[in-house]
Homo-oligomer: A and B are copies of this chain.
Amino acid sequence: MISTRGRYAIRVMIDLAAHNGGCVPLKDIAARQGISKKYLEIIVKDMVAGGLLVGVSGKGGGYRLCRAPEEYSVGEIIELMEGPLATVACLMDGAEPCPRAADCQTLPLWEEYRRLTHDFFYGKRLSDLIG
């Protein structure tokens, strides 16, 4: 289940995309979206660290996209905020390989589902969510 971190992040991206290129203060985004500004700060901080946005301090500052909306996939936003799009623990990157993997009868199911999910979200672009 996708949590508020990922969902709010996408809404911030859409909000920024609507104000094309300009700096938008978080206060305005929070008000428009009806989300706690303090909570958004945490989320947006990670978005900056992850290279989705840039932040500009001081009067007239705010946040803005650093690419065109077509250049963002929804999948990369979700994975940055929520971690890998893995449906089960044994498919996580860096997880210790399950000793039963070789003859696990459920693993192919989870792999197929992961592929489906991955393709779905990486196929969607931020620009697809606008208008």
Contacts and interface: CB of A to CB of B under 8 A. Distances in A.
Interface of A: 1-2, 7, 10-11, 14, 34, 74, 86-89, 100, 105-106, 109-110, 112-113, 116-117, 120-121, 124, 129-130
Contacts of A74: 109
A61 to B, nearest CB: 25
A70 to B, nearest CB: 16
Contact of A106 (B1, B7, B120): B7
Nearest to A15: B105
Contacts of A87: 1-2
21 contacts: A1-B86, A1-B87, A1-B88, A1-B89, A2-B87, A7-B88, A7-B106, A10-B106, A10-B109, A11-B105, A14-B105, A14-B106, A34-B100, A105-B129, A106-B129, A109-B124, A109-B129, A112-B120, A113-B117, A116-B116, A117-B117
